[in-house]
Amino acid sequence: MASCLQVPMAYSIPSCSSSSSSSLQSIKRGSLKSSCCALGAKSSAKIPMPPVNPKDPFLSKLASVAATSPEAFLNRPVNSDTPPYLDLFDSPKLMASPAQVERSVSYSEHRPRRPPPDLPSLLLHGRIVYIGMPLVPAVTELVVAELMYLQWMDPKQPIYLYINSTGTTRDDGETVGMETEGFAIYDALMQLKNEIHTVAVGAAIGQACLLLAAGTKGKRFMMPHAKAMIQQPRLPSSGLMPASDVLIRAREAVINRDTLAELLAKHTGNSVETVASVMKRPFYMDSTRAKEFGVIDKILWRGQDKIMADAATPEEWDRNAGIKVVDGL
């Protein structure tokens, strides 16, 4: 700014009518006259100021003061209670306009300077993958991509899979996706090097229940009022299909049912016959029943650790009840 506030200096320009040597007689008088006039105009003009936003009152005021009285900037007081250059204003205003600069108030000092990312991105930053819809191709694509990304970021940190899904069907039983959508996420989970902590936060039905049971042993959780349910795969309406196509799709549904039963038996610790027997009709499980069946390992509820810590040991119960333990029995 110091270069813009200097007082313009006068230029010494030779007269246009001065005598010239004989070697310069070939120069045209018109060009000599135009160059002399240009130098004269330059001497009368001031040093150009940098471009200033005309809508900014602060910069406009500074530019006008610099043009009229530059000594106001050159002779600044050393110790002043007023911030620099604000004494030039009767009522200082540092905003260009409310639409251009956000007002600085107490409640917005921690406001993000740019729009926050979407909610799945925020959860992904905490290594959380949330399945909150039926398993349609778009959901499968996003979940598998997030799982692969989290393993690439850190193959040692656990991944938290929160499940609230009705699987490949809706809550009314209508099929919305193929069984391969659930198998795709399951295969991606089995390929990961990370620990998978699964948490049922609402409903885990059908293929979603398989994903819940496929977590790392000891790291499968369920909320107290969540529901789990296993059932046979369902086929979409086949009213316009020929009989041969209906038979082909029926065979594929039987294969998917047997595969689902084998995988559930593998992760729950039950036999394939037991799982196939309970899958004949929709088999609903609350958190306690799901733990007994082997779908989960722990039930999450607030205060559980404190209550379990305050519980008396079996020996204390016997001692308080007056039961004496005989040695050797």
Give the 3-state secondary structure of residue 113: coil
Please state, in angstroms and rounded to a whole number, the distance separating the CA atoms of residues 62 and 70: 10
Q: 13 near 36, Cβ under 8 Å?
A: yes
Query: Which pLDDT value is given to residue 310?
Result: 65
Please state, in angstroms and rounded to a whole number, the distance separating the CA atoms of residues 276 and 272: 6
| Token duo for residue 147 | 């799982």
Please state, in angstroms and rounded to a whole number, the distance separating the CA atoms of residues 275 and 269: 10
Residue 142's nearest CA partner among 133, 297, 303, 51 is 133
Please state, in angstroms and rounded to a whole number, the distance separating the CA atoms of residues 205 and 167: 5
Q: How is 53-103 classified by DSSP, letter by letter?
A: -TT-HHHHHHHHHHHH-THHHHS--SS-SSPTTGGG-SS----S-TTTS--
| Token duo for residue 135 | 């398993």
Query: Which pLDDT value is given to residue 275?
Result: 94
Query: Which pLDDT value is given to residue 87?
Result: 59
Query: Which pLDDT value is given to residue 318?
Result: 72
Number of neighbours of residue 142 by Cβ within 10 angstroms:
16
Residue 163's beta-bridge partner residues?
A: 131, 200
Q: What are the per-10-residue average pLDDT scores of the chain (329 residues)?
A: 44 43 44 48 49 66 74 62 57 48 48 64 86 92 94 92 91 81 94 93 93 94 92 76 84 91 94 93 92 92 62 72 61
Query: Which pLDDT value is given to residue 234?
Result: 80
Query: Which pLDDT value is given to residue 21?
Result: 44
Query: Which pLDDT value is given to residue 112?
Result: 55
The reported pTM is: 0.58
Q: Domains in the chain, please, with CATH?
A: 1-14+28-95 (no CATH), 119-308 (3.90.226.10)
